[in-house]
Amino acid sequence: MPVSAAGFSLPEILIALAISSVLLLGAARFLPALQREALRGAQKITLEEEIWQRAFTVAKHLQRAGYCRESCGGEGLTIGRQGACVLVRWGAERTGFRLQELALETLRGATRCEGKGWERMTDPQAIVIEQFQVQRHNLVGFAPLLTVRLRGFSRSDSRERAAAEYSVTGFNL
């Protein structure tokens, strides 16, 4: 009983293998570049989130500056070092923020911009903070506007830079 053979011939299989090999080599070259770009994108997002999170943290303290149930006794907000250091007082809380050695630092109970005991809010091995500045804008007939500017870059790739500028109203000042 004759069996009719259906299928691919040897030359057809060899041609299919050659085409598949070329496609796989192309994909193998493309994959590392795709992975590199995905990693860079993730690093940029992480950097931007870190910068914005720190800006929001400082701004939240600025917004509370000067709030007291009773008499605070003293200034609610002190800006020093041309804006690179800010001391905030609300209630019994005192908190300071400053730029020091390419890192953003904070200190609870801070009474001046100098001294020891400040803790780093950012890791200079991962992120370099190039600018931290707080500005107070006094508006006639309104509460002052306080603006936080923060700019930095990733230590692993200095081309990846991020900046944040956030303003709040100092209702209690």
Q: Hey, where are the domains in the chain? A: 32-169
What is the model's pLDDT at position 70? 64
In the chain, % of residues over pLDDT 90: 62
In the predicted model, what is the mean pLDDT of residues 74-88?
A: 93
106-155 tens-digit pLDDT: 999 999 999 999 999 999 999 999 999 999 999 899 999 999 999 999 99
């107070």: which residue's tokens? 136
Band of pLDDT at residue 4, cut at 50, 70 and 90: low
**Residue 49 vs residue 13, higher pLDDT:** 49
Q: How far apart are CA 135 and CA 79, in angstroms?
A: 8
R_g over Cα of the chain: 29
Average pLDDT value over all residues in the chain: 90
147-163 tens-digit pLDDT: 999 999 999 888 889 99
Q: How far apart are CA 40 and CA 38, in angstroms?
A: 6
Q: How far apart are CA 104 and CA 88, in angstroms?
A: 15
In the predicted model, what is the mean pLDDT of residues 25-49?
A: 89
| Dihedrals phi, psi of 158, to nearest 5 degrees | -65, -10
* End-to-end CA gap in the chain: 102
Band of pLDDT at residue 59, cut at 50, 70 and 90: very high
| Dihedrals phi, psi of 47, to nearest 5 degrees | -60, -50
Distances (CA, A) of 118 to 19, 28, 30, 105, 115: 63, 49, 47, 6, 8
Q: What is the pTM of this model?
A: 0.80
Amino acid at 171: F
